[in-house]
Amino acid sequence: MLKIRCDLVQKILVTSIRDSIHKNGFKNAIIGVSGGLDSAVVLALCRKALGARHTFALLLPYRVSSPASLDHGKMVCAKFKVPYEVIDISPAVDAYFDRFPAENRLQIGNKCARERMSVLYDFSVRKKALVVGTSNKSEILVGYSTQFGDAAAAFLPIGDLYKTQVFELARHLDIPEAIVAKMPSADLWPGQTDEGEIGITYKDLDIILHLMIDRRWDEGEIVERGYPLPLIRRINKMIVNSQFKRTMPPVVKLHARTVGIDFRYLRDWNK
């Protein structure tokens, strides 16, 4: 159901990355590499689109990050010969929470995500590079991201690929098996996994999302495929509750033409 033609998808994404970088007046791309699957795939695609000279990676561990994540990040950068910098965000994050203690670990995770994006955008100026995001369609639809954190980027090359499709593309791109085979994790705290936090496997989640969003099936039709109604409704609620993450902040209309309401153009309008 969700099989893709990897050669065609790669060609489309590589062309899109090159066009997006150049249309915005840049030559370089910068990616936050976590050691996970999504950032590895985006790194490989940027390398193919722009070459190693014009692709740069930042590895931004926090003190509770898995050492394996950092190793895997270095591994994928070495494989594709992409230059990188390692910056420990622990001093910046801990300095804040030393004064304003965190109430829960999710708060720390969100702060880390925003700190990483803050560093990425600072380096984008230093490197004269556009920040390329790594979110996939599954994450975007259920809101599994931090607003103005990992959800922030100039564009999202794999944002219309479900996680299971990213796995397929990763093997086509020859991403190291250690990265492809491990359990997906945002590395927010020790032992944390995406599927454990979302509460469903990506395989099932992606099928339900595909039927619900792409095919516009109703609850009854999806139930007939063998999925329980409470699960379907919980996923639908996640989509609804995270809609604010997929839209720009609303503007209150006062004039004849209002940004986001009457004044709406493509990002490369008039370029």
Calpha distance 169→172 (Å, rounded): 5
DSSP 63-108: TTS-HHHHHHHHHHHHHTT--EEE---HHHHHHHHHHS--SSHHHH
Q: What does the pLDDT read at residue 1?
A: 83
Entry pTM: 0.94
pLDDT at 75: 98
Q: How many CB atoms lie within 10 A of CB 216?
A: 8
Q: Are 113 and 119 in contact (CB under 8 A)?
A: no
Residues 66-96 pLDDT 10s: 999 999 999 999 999 999 999 999 999 999 9
Write down all domains in the chain, each with its CATH number in brackets. Answer: 6-194 (3.40.50.620)
The CA distances from residue 218 to 31, 116, 138, 233, 234, in Å, are: 38, 39, 19, 11, 14
Residue 96, pLDDT score: 98
Given this model, what pLDDT does residue 187 score?
77
In the chain, count of helices (H) and strands (E)?
12, 4
Residue 159, φ and ψ in degrees, nearest 5: -70, -10
Q: In sequence order, which residues have a C-beta less than 8 Å from that of residue 56 and are 6 or more positions away?
A: 28, 29, 30, 31, 82, 83, 84, 85, 123, 127, 129
In the chain, % helix, strand, coil (3-state, to 5) comes to 50, 5, 40
Q: Residue 32 has what pLDDT?
A: 98
Report, as ranges of residue numbers, the positions in the chain whose pLDDT lies below 70. Answer: none
